[in-house]
Structure 1
Amino acid sequence: MTEFVLVAGAWLGAWAWDEVAAPLRAAGHGAHPLTLSGLADKQGVPAGQQIHVQDIVDEVERRDLRDVVLVGHSYAGIPVGQAAERIGDRLARVVFVDSSVPADGGSFVSAWWQGPAELEAAIAGNGGFWAPRTAADYDGQDLTDEQIARIVGGSTPHPGASLAEPAVLKRPLGELPATYVKCLLDGAEPSEDVAGLLTGEHWRLVEMDTGHWPMFSRPGELARILLDAAGE
């Protein structure tokens, strides 16, 4: 029995995984969607990146989970990648879902593809939070109007401190057993750092012909990918 710990990206909470968790449980596995501090039902709780890492570690240890597959989507790949090395032999695999990956001493902001200054300004201009996207921002991502409405309606401002705080890695990320899920509508190729990791023996690539939020657009397909990853 595999225990899946599911962590969604910016603005989202545990609720984002409802349609992925159900088939995982139906297949006889554990599914533990996690809301990070400062988001969704945990709004108002102090939040930084290392707090998010500890959120994940605490979930695994509190439930005494073994044979764990940590799943990180988008921003959450950064704390998930750090938590993976901290849970030791409890870890079976990490799955990065169209996500950022941590670099020791780097942050989500420092690697922002449009430039750190733009994201820093957006956060500073919104009281220290990254404002959720509007419905129009989800166009072209293989989402129905109903799915977009659900995402927008459930999103909450993302704590800026978690985006600016640097990651801390004690060993090379490429040593982790990992699957990277690339969502092709969000870019045909992985980022340069991910491409480098995929050249190693412990990482493999899986592609999905969908947008950046596959837990909404293709939840059944994503669940099958997670089950396949757990079987490796």
Structure 2
Amino acid sequence: MAEFVMVAGAWLGGWAWSDVVPELRAAGHGTHPLTLSGLAEKRGVGAGQQTHVRDIVDEVERLDLRDVVLVGHSYSGIPVGQAAERIGDRLARVIFVDSGVPADGESFASAWWQGQAAFEAILAGNGGSWTPITAEECEGQGLTDEQIARFVGGATPHPGASLTEPAVLTRSLAELPATYIKCLLDGDQPTDDVAELLKSERWELVEMDTGHWPMFSQPAELARIMDGAIRGR
């Protein structure tokens, strides 16, 4: 079966996949939840975006993984998309979970809905990091009160440099075998850049009727989709 290297989005560590892991293992897969530098148990470590790309590549190489499925949720789709082209023939597929996708020379902040300057001002006002969202801001995303409490309780500030440093790509993401999972409570249509990539014959779209954090709200269904993505169903 496949080896799943799973990277959660902003503020979260490898712990966020704890309900998905047993489902994938029951299906026969290897699971490798990864905490990026500067987050969760690695909090306090300085990290730019390329640090996060190296975190992912180094984990694959350290464990000598083959048939790798890289999974990037939210922010982490950006470093995962870059790592995917750097691990060569170890890669089986990329799964983007309601995530951003990298564009060469652009950053997470570049696509901020209020503009990059506004986002950088937010970081500057918080000592250079991105403060986790509140429980109130999690409302409407298909999460129970218990799931929201777990999310908020485990979240840590996200290193700002990883959000402003530009991506580095040498070829189009459209060339990668990819599944994009769109969580409908967080908007019913993919962003324009994702919609363009979905025109590729190597990309597929799967929708989930839940919010932006399906590893909390629907872990079994998320695992089923991830398993199906590499089995061709």
Q: Give the TM-score normalised by structure 2.
A: 0.99
1:217 is matched with: 217
SS of the residue corresponding to residue 149 of structure 1 reads helix
CA RMSD of aligned residues (A): 0.6
Specify the alignment match of 1:70 in structure 2: 70
SS at match of 1:199: coil
Please give the alpha-carbon distance, in whole angstroms, between the structure 2 residues aligned to 1:24 and 1:214: 15
Amino acid at match of 1:203: W
Match of 2:15 in 1: 15
The structural deviation recorded for 1:118 is 2.1
* Separation in 2, partners of 1:114, 1:100: 16
Shift of 1:114: 2.9
Moved over 6 A (4+): none
How is 1:32-71 mapped onto 2 (pairs within 5 angstroms)?
Answer: 32-71=32-71
Q: How many residues align?
A: 232
Which residue in 2 is equivalent to 1:143? 143
CA distance in 2, matches of 1:113, 1:10: 16
Q: Give the secondary structure class of the aligned counterpart of 1:54.
A: helix
Structure 1 equivalent of residue 79 of structure 2: 79
AA at the equivalent of 2:207: E
- State the secondary structure of the residue aligned to 2:110: coil
Instruction: In structure 1, give the amino acid aligned to 2:37.
Output: S
Residues 69-117 of structure 1 deviation map (CA, whole Å, 9 limit, x = unaligned): 0000000000000000000000000000000000000000001123222
Deviations 1:13-54 (A, max 9, x none): 000000001110111110000000000000111211000000
**Structure 1 residue identity aligned to 2:114:** Q
1:197 — aligned with what? 197
Between 1:111-120 and 1:59-68, the stretch displaced more is: 111-120
Counterpart of 1:118 in structure 2 is 118
Q: How far has the Cα of 1:157 moved from its partner?
A: 0.2
The aligned amino acid for 2:62 is R
Deviation per CA, 1:144-165: give whole Å up to 9, x if none.
0000000000000000000000
TM-score (norm 1): 0.99
Paired residue for 2:183? 183
Deviation at 1:127?
Answer: 0.3
Q: Please give the alpha-carbon distance, in whole angstroms, between the structure 2 residues aligned to 1:124 and 1:199.
A: 38
Q: Please tell me the residue identity of whatever aligns with 1:55.
A: D
The alignment-based identity, stated in percent, is 75
1:230 is displaced (CA, Å) by 1.4
- The 3-state SS of whatever aligns with 1:216 is helix
Structure 1, unaligned runs of 5 or more: none
* Amino acid paired to 1:210: T
Q: Where in structure 2 are there 5+ consecutive unaligned residues?
A: none
